[in-house]
A and B are shown apart, each in its own frame.
Chain A
């Protein structure tokens, strides 16, 4: 299994990966609390970016409404916990099932009726916005005034109930990110991954070769939705509060996909690099502006937008393909 997974990956790539993982494993001992929370955010975006990448990067289906899966996952697990006392790990199963169902509905409607490209992207926005306004009026989970989990006591980490210190959440997120990385790598190397890439490159050609494009596109949406819902459960238990205006908002969906696009769409490292770059950039900007005493709301975002503009103009394929070439980590063409 492991031999199959690392087959064809250059040695230097494996070493780089081991160094990165080692650094992330020891990070909480070296970093202060602030840095750990920043790292949690980075891993969160690396994870969700990886999940989104399955749909867009692998199968070529542009979703601009991934916030809906985060939100559904978060609300499902939180509601089970608050209303019935069911723990997050069982809630996770429910969250994944609900998000997968939702993904299946969106995918079915879109792919059955031949909705593609820009139209598909806007359909996904429409569903997310529909959910946002719907949850605003869904009083069972607090409606627009928010839904709150009992706040944790940080004295002791309780992994079973996901209550505890930021360090515990950090390791949970690290495990999730690593698992998503391995899962995506395995998917890409399997039959389903090759079918996806065929569909991404030329759907008509893929169909003419006998690939059931409808079925494989459905797999992409459903897997991506299920993976994203896991991040939603984490979000709910880490932040302990949920507002439809925040979690379902289109800016959440956009935030989630900037990382993989900046990092390099369709690559395994892209979402991780992108998350480090964007979150790091945004935090550094915050710090810099605060030191200069330049505390104007919006200034940080303007710089953020300008950086985004520059990256997309200069490196159209994303940072990772360029970096990989520089470091000699490019996988041999087979």
Chain B
């Protein structure tokens, strides 16, 4: 039985980690192409969570199905943000970009605070307490659906970058900015598109997180940090790395919560991050740093 508990916690941590991984995938895609670190990433995630919660509260729409529309809304948000605000900052120094995104993050957190108040909100679906039993294993149905959906979204994104012309063009911008300009790519528009895609990942992940976590406006900065940890552990700019990092961090936190105390769990993620930065700064699946 004791082993069963560990296995249960591990699987649950793994599935939650996948969803975190999808959120971090957005950060990784944005950094990998636009070379801007999105310090408002967690805040954008909370926007998606609140959209899902409002849609559920008003029309009883299931967040799992709403994943696509929410992702579309966030895509628009990200596209406009990059095209309107961030593009002029592309060639500015890092600290300038940092202040810009921190300002956006502050605005998002506090607008959410004004609109929704500081109290935690959640979604109660009809299947919230369902679970699957596989031998000694008991898994939350919600987490299984969310994990599966994550894999689907990530696969779609991989396919987009791998096989479509636009995806290839975006990868060309990431590989060689000047080269992309020379062959006539509209880099600014592709950057906006990329930021939109990253934001769409956030939208899908946030929609699912609304099922798993109670939303508060203060969750934003926490998720920004979480996304950083995941992405750097897995390798900044690497897409499979983000998912792997998510799973690793999910597992680490679940296990730390079980063995020590849940309030100390993120200490272990930070510990893992420091180790990775020291011994493999490019992350587990990252490319060599130049």
Please report A residues at the B interface, Cβ cutoff 8 Å. 56, 62, 64, 109-110, 113-115, 117-119, 121-123, 125-127, 129-130, 133-134, 136-137, 144, 250-251, 254, 258, 261-262, 265, 296-299, 301-302, 304-306, 308-309, 312-313, 316
Contact = CB atoms under 8 A, between A and B. Distances in A.
A316 B96 contact: yes
A93 to B, nearest CB: 28
Contact of A137 (B232, B264, B274): B264
A109 B225 CA distance: 21
A114 B282 CA distance: 11
B107 A305 contact: yes
Contacts of A302: 106-107, 110-111, 114
B99 interface: yes
Give the interface residue-count category, chain B.
35 or more
Contacts of B118: 297
Given A113-B281, A126-B274, A133-B267, A312 B225 contact: no
A118 B96 CA distance: 13
Could you say which of A62, A113, A298, A302 has the most chain B C-beta atoms within 10 Å of its C-beta? A298
Interface of B: 37, 85, 88, 92, 94-96, 98-100, 102-107, 109-111, 113-114, 118, 217, 221, 225, 228-229, 232, 236, 261, 263-264, 266-267, 270-271, 273-274, 277-279, 281, 289
B110 A305 contact: yes
Contacts of A250: 221, 225
Given A121-B94, A304-B106, A305-B103, 4 more contacts: A113-B278, A265-B95, A297-B113, A313-B88
A118 B281 contact: no
Nearest to B107: A305
A312 B228 CA distance: 23
Contacts of A113: 277-279, 281
Contact of A309 (B104, B271, B289): B104
A114 B289 CA distance: 10
Main secondary structure of the interface of A (DSSP, over half): helix
Given A261-B95, A297-B113, A126 B102 contact: no
A301 B270 contact: no
Contacts of B106: 301-302, 304-305, 308
Contact of A129 (B232, B266, B277): B266
Could you say which of B98, B232, B289 has the most chain A C-beta atoms within 10 Å of its C-beta? B98
Nearest to A300: B110
